[in-house]
Amino acid sequence: MLFRAYCATCVGLEVIPVVVEISVQQGVGIYLVGLPDSAVKESLLRVTTALQSCDYRVPGWKTVINLAPANIRKEGSGYDVAIAVGLLAASEQIAAPYIQDFLILGELALDGSLRDVPGALPIALKGKEQGFSKCIFPCASALEASEVEGITIYGAANIGEVVDILNGEDYTNSLVVHPKGEHRGEERSCKADFMDVIGQEFAKRGMEIAASGGHNLILCGVPGSGKSFMASCLASILPGMSREESLETSAVYSVAGLLEGRGLIRERPFRTPHNTSSVVAMVGGGPSAYPGEISLAHNGVLYLDEISLFSASTLDLLRQPLEERIISISRAKYKVTYPASFMLVGSMNPCPCGYFGDDSGRCTCTPGMISRYQARISGPLMDRIDLNIKVKPVERDLLVSGVKGERSEDIARRVLRAREIQLERFKGEGIFTNAQMDAAQLSKYCPLGEQERAFMGNIMEKLSLSARGYGRILRIARTIADMEGGKRIDISHISEAVQYRFNDFL
């Protein structure tokens, strides 16, 4: 008897449907074909032991299990449940009359219980696209996919519950069912608040601009000036993600196995890799080409504390994703592409001792040492940084005065208003912020009047701006105009943008 069950596998964010074909005929032996890796080959032992533990029998005849299409390598343990129900149906132990409506995924434990598998969210989205009306996942994996509209998601704790679902029994009373929208995920709250940042008005204004437009920035200043703390406060003023952004980011975390049953991610990621992180940790890779820090920061922030201590190769690999907002990982027979649209935030000292430019005159570094230190961040990477902010030490009298700054809650409201203007502007464009505009969108949304064009011409000549630098200033100016509710960019917006583009440290 020939029987088919349906599951899927993820190659990066691309979901490939897999048909589990099972044939039971006269003969002896059980065979698994279809280019399986070691984990998939081992599924035969897991499946047969689990079925016997649940009082099902393993067919004693010749059984061939084919994972189609056969030209794609199958990796991971997510095929176990589909193979198990296929064996039961092919050996006529269950009827499973509605199995063609289901996409089934899960790993089996030896006692028949289901273990979570990565990739449930993108697989559910693909299942809807392919015309499946229902999905069966392990319970925690089902939470990831519970908000996908247009498809019913069922969570099962063991193989018995999977069989009950396939037989069309009363799901609500006997099974763990997670309807769409029930689970909203655990939202993280940022404890750092700009209220506790004393002084530093110039830096705080620059960070508000960066948050409003999704711009990259670097904070450069002497030790103890508050760079790291202000960077940690940035998360407190970023708006929540739209549904589209949330689905994109959650899909990356789902493939990486990091959602942990939380449902969709609502708050923007804030990734803080250590300066010893390897290239693979940053870009992604490994045997299954999992996403790295660059992709895990998608639609959020990638914060590099002491950015000058990262290796040159690690920093330079950021150049391509900062420009194209994707990252590609190549393998011998395939290439995986992950989204990588993030805000790059860095903090650093101006020199090895940290006190170059400080009024106290404590710097002990020679000009050569300072030059070599600052050269650790290459010119092409610096050209991709929108805002370059000099952070000065807080004056003693202001520090002991106890005067509090503006609350993050108030700043966040202004940031949200600016973001809402951009969401309306870019509706249907496939982008969300001013920082994501390409050259064509710059021309469309950042037109300059005659006076502004003449002003920009003078700036380009005096500062020897590249075409990329010109575009960066326009994007920042557009964001400043949005923060003020302006319809067009004027000279004051351009002037402020230029202040944040250059400083006397770097």
The residue whose two tokens read 């004693």 is 60
Mean pLDDT of 145-164: 90
The whole-angstrom distance between residue 273's C-alpha and the CA centroid of its chain comes to: 14
Is 194-501 the same fold as 2-177? no
CA-closest candidate to residue 16, choices 331, 336, 325, 257: 336
Residue 258 tokens, joined: 């990091």
Q: Greater confidence, 298 or 396?
A: 298
CA distance 129 to 119: 16
The pLDDT > 90 percentage for the chain reads 59
Local confidence band at 259 (pLDDT 50, 70, 90 cut-offs):
confident
Mention every residue, 6+ apart, whose C-beta is less than 8 A from residue 353: 362, 363, 364, 365
- Strand, coil or helix: what is 93? coil
pLDDT band at 503 (very low <50, low <70, confident <90, very high): low
In 297-431, where does DSSP find H-type helix?
312-316, 319-324, 367-374, 379-382, 396-400, 408-425
What pLDDT, on the 0 to 100 scale, is given for residue 176? Answer: 41
Instruction: Quote the pLDDT of residue 173.
Output: 37
- C-alpha 69/C-alpha 33 separation (Å) is 10
Bridge partner list, 22? 3, 65
Over 60: is that where the pLDDT of 498 sits? yes
Can you tell me which residue has the tokens 């992604």? 284
Q: What is the mean pLDDT of residues 333-349?
A: 91
pLDDT at residue number 181: 42
Close Cβ partners of 144 (under 8 Å, ≥ 6 residues apart): 120, 121, 124, 137, 250, 254, 259, 261, 262, 263, 264
Kindly report, residue by residue over 169-189, the tens digit of the pLDDT.
Answer: 655 433 344 444 443 434 446
So what's the pLDDT on residue 2? 85
Assign a CATH topology to domain 194-501: Rossmann fold (3.40.50)
Neighbouring-strand partners of residue 24: 63
Average pLDDT, the chain: 88
Mean pLDDT of 45-56: 94
Q: Alpha-carbon distance 348 to 152, whole Å?
A: 49
Alpha carbons 298 and 174: distance in angstroms, whole number: 39
Task: Determine the pLDDT at residue 182.
Answer: 41
Highest mean pLDDT of the ranges 294-308, 317-331, 362-376: 294-308
What crossing angle do the helices spanning 467-483 and 201-213 adopt, rounded to 10°?
Answer: 100
Residue 382 has pLDDT above 80, yes or no: yes
Report the half-sphere exposure of 313 (CA within 13 A, side-chain side).
7
Give the domain ranges of the chain: 2-177, 194-501
pLDDT for 122: 94
Q: What is the CATH code for 2-177? A: 3.30.230.10
Confidence of residue 303 (pLDDT cuts 50, 70, 90): very high
28 CB-near residues (< 8 Å, 6+ apart): 60, 61, 62
Residues 135-149 have a mean pLDDT of: 89
Per-residue confidence (pLDDT) for residue 188, from 0 to 100: 47
For residues 464 and 48, the model is more confident at 48
182-210, pLDDT tens digit by residue?
434 344 467 888 998 888 899 999 999 99
| Residue 9 confidence (pLDDT) above 70 | yes
Please give the pLDDT value at position 465.
82
Are 200 and 222 in contact, with CB atoms under 8 Å apart?
no
* Average confidence (pLDDT) over 446-459: 92
The answer to whether the Cα torsion of 392, 393, 394, 395 is positive or negative is negative
- Ramachandran class of 173: left when φ > 0, alpha when ψ lies in -120 to 50, beta otherwise: alpha
Element (H, E) at 43: helix 43-53
